Structure 1
Amino acid sequence: MTAQERINAYWTGRAPDYDEYQQRPDRLAADQEAWSRIWAEALPPAPADVLDVGTGTGQVAMVLAGLGHRVTGIDLAEGMLDRARQHAATLANPPVIQLGDAVAPDFPAGSFDAVTSRYLMWTLREPEVAVANWARLVRPGGVVAVVDSTWFPGGLDNASENFTDFYDARVRDVLPLAAATSIDQTVAVLEKAGLSEVTVTPLTTIYELDRRFGVAPNHEHQMQYLIAGRS
């Protein structure tokens, strides 16, 4: 398998447990409220055309659709896409969920008002190429907005998450942000792509929710950030 195929296989296998955690009934309503505020403040007013790259189980795509946006979500992990499609089928204004590569989304230039991602940058091959492509897809004045953190500053070899079967040395070699020690490394990627007015916002509401409800298994309680720039 190629490095990307190994990443896809890992997340397809993780999809059921990952989705169940995202849909925890004790936290779901609070999460949806918090993320709705975060994305509403970060993106142009609805309705806007939004591409959610690395959409996974579609949690961000569903929130954006709930805000009234016209949303397309893409991913390469079929297991994740299956879950996202199931969720989309329950909505009156569902996002379009389809197979697609976050590094090179197959859409014409200027197709969207915004491109979003959440928890993707650390596991994204060629992030500088990817973000440059996202910037090309965004109309003038549009927004690229990503959420991530420094999840594994000690490296994936030392992570408590069991990556060993899929995130081998060949995969780790193509993921320059996997072991980022500062969110500034992600900021630099957006700036190098030519985005302007790049801002970093600590997501204190999510940090507080993690304190109240706990974090995902094999993760530590740490700050997440919204990094956004304009085309």
Structure 2
Amino acid sequence: MTKPEQTGNAVKELVQQHWNDRATTFDDASHHGIHTDEQHERWSSILREWTGDEPLQVLDIGCGTGVLSLLLADLGHAVTGVDVAPQMLERARAKATRADRSIEFYRGDAEALAVTDDAVELVTARHLVWTLPNPEQAIAEWQRVVEPGGRILVIEGYWDHAEPWDEYEEIHDDLPMYDGRPPDELRAVLARHGLRKIEHEPLLDPVLWGREPHHEYYLMAGTVPR
């Protein structure tokens, strides 16, 4: 019989392979990268409202090519990005260098972070939970690394794709949040893990995505109890 951890590792390897393969073209899509000054300013405005004016220590989990990491660094936060896919991280480092932003990027597992307890003030994750074989374990892990009174902020959605593609054809049944979740469902998960003051904001402005949004996108944040 296959052990659960062995199955989980095999799923994670295919997830890594998928995003490595997409790294060189990921930012080309209008709803993935930042392509205009207006799009940059709109994202910056939303993030500023949710993170405040004081610089924070931020861990951006599942950072991909660094889209969110760079936006947060532009706002003055001290950002570290972590991702499972080396090719994504290579793109993120190159973009940070071109933008003259000092951001540390390293390879890591969103469900088992090489980070000490209470290390950061804010954890961010953009369109990540649907890719995880153990998303609730990941949320507990994110809570561990955030100091009491800090926050977890996720940008998520509910897209309900017609069918899985590439590596996800093989593994989508092993991903409990595949296709994302409506905000009420994700709110319930965060509340079950003890997060407080959970709030969310729909992200349906076409400027954010460079097109009319095809799915239910939103931002949700909760506070780690003291």
| Pairwise same-fold verdict (TM > 0.5) | yes
Alignment of 1:21-100 (within 5 A): 21=29, 22-23=32-33, 27-100=35-108
Q: After superposition, what is the alpha-carbon deviation per residue over 1:107-164, rounded to whole angstroms, capped at 9, x for unaligned?
A: 0011000000111122122111111111111111111000011012xxx5x33xx61x
CA distance in 2, matches of 1:108, 1:181: 29
CA distance in 2, matches of 1:70, 1:124: 26
Gaps of 5+ in 2: 1-8
1:179 Cα offset (Å): 3.4
Q: After superposition, what is the alpha-carbon deviation per residue over 1:202-230, rounded to whole angstroms, capped at 9, x for unaligned?
A: 1233x4544xx436xxxx62331001000
Q: Cα RMSD between the aligned structures?
A: 2.0
Counterpart contact for 1:19–1:83, Cα < 8 Å = no
Q: Paired residue for 1:193?
A: 193
CA distance in 1, matches of 2:216, 2:168: 24
Q: Give the counterpart letter for 1:106 in structure 2.
A: A
1:149 match: secondary structure = strand
Counterpart contact for 1:103–1:130, Cα < 8 Å = yes
CA distance in 2, matches of 1:208, 1:76: 29
Correspondent of 2:216 among 188, 199, 223: 223
CA distance in 2, matches of 1:132, 1:58: 23
Q: Give the counterpart letter for 1:78 in structure 2.
A: P
Q: Give the counterpart letter for 2:40 in structure 1.
A: Q
1:23 Cα offset (Å): 4.3
1:94 match: secondary structure = coil
2:98 match: secondary structure = coil
- Number of aligned residue pairs: 214
Identity score, percent: 36
Q: Does 1:142 align with 2:150?
A: yes
The more displaced of 84-93 and 8-17 is 84-93
CA distance in 2, matches of 1:193, 1:182: 18
CA distance in 1, matches of 2:81, 2:167: 24
Q: Paired residue for 1:166?
A: 167
The more displaced of 11-20 and 86-95 is 86-95
Counterpart contact for 2:153–2:219, Cα < 8 Å = yes
Q: Paired residue for 2:125?
A: 117
1:173 match: secondary structure = helix
2:125 match: secondary structure = strand
Counterpart contact for 1:61–1:72, Cα < 8 Å = yes
Specify whether residues 50 and 209 from structure 1 end up closer, same or farther in structure 2 by C-alpha distance, changes over 3 A only.
Answer: closer
Counterpart contact for 1:127–1:189, Cα < 8 Å = no
Q: Give the counterpart letter for 1:119 in structure 2.
A: H
Gaps of 5+ in 1: none
Correspondent of 1:10 among 12, 15, 18: 18
Counterpart contact for 1:145–1:227, Cα < 8 Å = yes
TM-score norm. by structure 2 comes to 0.87
